[in-house]
Structure 1
């Protein structure tokens, strides 16, 4: 009878574990590392960081002197007229003598120009830009670490789901074996007229219910495997988790861990606050005067002589006059002082928002650590009580089964004992899960996962 039951369990395992036969075993730390090496959102965060780094170089390149070379050869009329106007970039300037009449004769000209301008001093705006660029890089680096931290949590939770589902499925397998054993005993008793036919029907119902529970757990397990395969980038038919779990380590006192400013979530928020402060400084510096060095040299030729008479066009293609000019210019836009007042006020609100988010994150992490520490002792007491509860439930089931075989107990009492044993076994898994979740909560709050990972390492 036991051999038949074991064969049934074996068939169910083969039906629902075809992808584990050739799979490579993966530990929880391996799963985390595999995900961090190829997950798309992490690549996107890294690319965003590289963009910020390149932007810092772009800012430096914008400070290089502007050096422009220009040369042009022209042919056209040269009718001058006194008066001033704004060219607006639309009116072509003409340099020529004033004449009583408008002439249609042509004149040639040639002009070459070299200019340079270099903003050499602006009362600290360059330094403010550099500090803001560095702050942006720090925010980008913290964002990458923040993304890694979130991905690690997702992988760990998925891995733990698989681990607990595996343990629950083992309970369902044992439950099926026990129910099948009882069902066969009852069937024999009914066939021999010792028990009523109702007992056989109730046993069959219980057996079907046990199998349905098993099938449901298998579906959940397969979904969890697909999710972990998606995260780690492994084919689902080649993925199998390492079920190593140090249960006794849950009874030991964990390491003392504290919340530090180096936590990825806090470091990101802190860098964001600093970045917003640096932007305020840049806003204030941007309205200050700008001091530039200016230099220019040019050469010019024309077919007009000194009396403004038209000469051969070819004579205007050479250079007959040269000039140069150097200077220092200071530029300030007075209305910028009004603009930066409102921009600074706007940025101050952003700083306040960032500081509030930092404080909120600190409170949440500290509460998480305090909560996990406070419930640790209670969970440990529950773990210590598990062996007694499991042994008691097992004895109760065996006693009810013996009483039923001797005609003293009815089928309902035996079914209750079966269900109680399965419930206690599942409760044991639930308590272990709570204990592991508390350890994970402490690791999350402190960003120290070494003590947590030790629960799943082989000794």
Structure 2
């Protein structure tokens, strides 16, 4: 049965290829493109995909940022100041913008004489023990980069699928336009014959009116088909950046891929992989939340040097005496920090993330269910199209013979115009059914490939 379907579809496409060059719309075409070439062009042109690529690069840079976030902190300060040094001893709150000395005045009487001071400091700090926080942050950054990459692949996959549908829709529209053009020529021939017969008095004058009405109707159908084709081409140009591409298809249906019914070994579908990566990213956030609220052990070390124009013997010297370093100190130590309310914060944060993980899991199941349903529907459409392809050659052959017989009978005055119009309509319907069925066959295979994760393989085999 499959071999017969292939022969039938091959004859059909051969017939359509003979018709297609008669279509004036093809005269606008300038670029010959295969399906894979159109997909490649979309990857380079479509701003949506370029945006996703930029976000992937940003997410990958975030991995490096997460690694560098745990480098030791080393602060260097150099300060030169001029002002009074009169204060009193006592506690104070460290209000922003107000700095106090913790020591009191060195004289009994207020002294507002300006003094100079010079101070330099160096302080370094390193998280000696972070209880896995560093690895959790890096893993979370990697998970986010993986999600960004999966989002890019999902959008690419959807664009490929959309271009594939447009590819076959444009082919169908062009072939249908060629059939409409042939139908238009038949009605023009009918009008010519009718005018000759009515002019000679063989047929009533109403036949010419009916013929003109039929010709006008076919012209309207042709114009509408031309507009539909142009809209499809505009949509393809929007996705690929190529105006009026010439697209062609191998007439041998047997050259299309035979997709496996068992999808156990099929590649992971990017549409499902996105939700799997989303769930993974939420899980990494949960691990990061657990590690973020653990204690931190810090190793700190520093040193500083200071000079002042006030001497140790309570002598206020000149301003220049305070510009050099006079005293040097150092300090090193270990510290541990922990917020006693971290347990509450961790519980609240994990409750939020747990809901996100569950939602991502349900979204993954929903997508898998949709893909399974799409695969079954595509397989059913393929089965119906294959069955119809066995019948359609006979229908087209019979309709063609019937039209030619009716045309000869009408010219001989044996039948009326209505019989000839009915025969023409049957031929038009048979040709259109051929186009529609082959398009259904290709589109169903495309949908099956997309549902099973074999879309790239399908695109590469469409020549």
Answer yes or no: same fold by TM over 0.5: yes
Residue 415 of structure 1 corresponds to 421
1:89 equivalent in alignment to 2:114? no
Q: Does the CA contact (< 8 Å) of 1:115 and 1:297 recur in 2?
A: yes
Unaligned stretches of 5+ in structure 2? Answer: 1-18
Deviations, residues 292-334 of structure 1 (Å, cap 9, x unaligned): 1111111222333434343444333333322111001111112
Q: Does the CA contact (< 8 Å) of 1:80 and 1:99 recur in 2?
A: no
Deviations, residues 2-32 of structure 1 (Å, cap 9, x unaligned): xxxxxxx999855x44423xx2322222212
Structure 1 pair 337/108, CA: closer, same or farther in 2 (3 Å)? Answer: same
Secondary structure of the residue aligned to 2:356 is: helix
1:258 equivalent in alignment to 2:263? yes
Q: Does the CA contact (< 8 Å) of 2:187 and 2:211 recur in 1?
A: yes
My pick for the range that moved more, 241-250 or 280-289, is: 241-250
1:400 equivalent in alignment to 2:406? yes
Secondary structure of the residue aligned to 1:120 is: strand
1:44 equivalent in alignment to 2:55? no
Q: Does the CA contact (< 8 Å) of 2:163 and 2:239 recur in 1?
A: yes
CA distance in 2, matches of 1:117, 1:379: 72
After TM superposition, the structure 1 = structure 2 runs for residues 183-262 of structure 1, keeping only pairs within 5 Å, are 183-236=191-244, 239-247=245-253, 254-256=259-261, 258=263, 260=266, 262=268
Q: Does the CA contact (< 8 Å) of 1:106 and 1:310 recur in 2?
A: no
Deviation at 1:387, TM superposition (A): 0.9
Secondary structure of the residue aligned to 1:91 is: coil
Counterpart among 179, 184, 192 of residue 176 in structure 1: 184
Structure 1 pair 200/99, CA: closer, same or farther in 2 (3 Å)? Answer: same
1:346 equivalent in alignment to 2:346? no
Structure 1 pair 386/291, CA: closer, same or farther in 2 (3 Å)? Answer: same
Structure 1 pair 85/96, CA: closer, same or farther in 2 (3 Å)? Answer: closer
Counterpart among 138, 142, 150 of residue 150 in structure 2: 142
CA distance in 2, matches of 1:438, 1:284: 48
Structure 1 pair 135/221, CA: closer, same or farther in 2 (3 Å)? Answer: same
1:25 equivalent in alignment to 2:32? yes
CA distance in 1, matches of 2:100, 2:126: 27
My pick for the range that moved more, 37-46 or 315-324, is: 315-324
Deviation at 1:261, TM superposition (A): 5.9
After TM superposition, the structure 1 = structure 2 runs for residues 44-83 of structure 1, keeping only pairs within 5 Å, are 44-83=51-90
After TM superposition, the structure 1 = structure 2 runs for residues 301-316 of structure 1, keeping only pairs within 5 Å, are 301-316=307-322
Counterpart among 116, 136, 141 of residue 108 in structure 1: 116
Secondary structure of the residue aligned to 1:340 is: helix
Unaligned stretches of 5+ in structure 1? Answer: 1-8
The alignment of Structure 1 onto Structure 2 pairs a total of residues equal to 443
Secondary structure of the residue aligned to 2:110 is: coil
Counterpart among 300, 306, 315 of residue 300 in structure 1: 306
What is the CA RMSD across the aligned residues, in angstroms?
Answer: 2.5
Deviation at 1:195, TM superposition (A): 0.8
Q: Does the CA contact (< 8 Å) of 1:161 and 1:224 recur in 2?
A: yes
Residue 371 of structure 2 corresponds to 365
Deviation at 1:249, TM superposition (A): 5.9
Residue 444 of structure 2 corresponds to 438
Counterpart among 250, 265, 285 of residue 279 in structure 1: 285
Structure 1 pair 322/249, CA: closer, same or farther in 2 (3 Å)? Answer: closer
Q: Does the CA contact (< 8 Å) of 2:396 and 2:430 recur in 1?
A: yes
CA distance in 2, matches of 1:451, 1:426: 29
My pick for the range that moved more, 77-86 or 303-312, is: 303-312
Secondary structure of the residue aligned to 1:333 is: coil
Deviations, residues 189-229 of structure 1 (Å, cap 9, x unaligned): 21121111111111121122222211221122222223223
Deviation at 1:53, TM superposition (A): 1.2
Residue 7 of structure 2 corresponds to none
Residue 10 of structure 2 corresponds to none
Deviations, residues 70-114 of structure 1 (Å, cap 9, x unaligned): 222333333342221112233322345454322233443322211
CA distance in 1, matches of 2:289, 2:77: 35
Residue 327 of structure 1 corresponds to 333
Structure 1 pair 221/348, CA: closer, same or farther in 2 (3 Å)? Answer: same
Secondary structure of the residue aligned to 1:115 is: strand
Q: Does the CA contact (< 8 Å) of 2:122 and 2:304 recur in 1?
A: yes
Q: Normalization by structure 1: what TM-score? A: 0.89
CA distance in 2, matches of 1:17, 1:405: 34
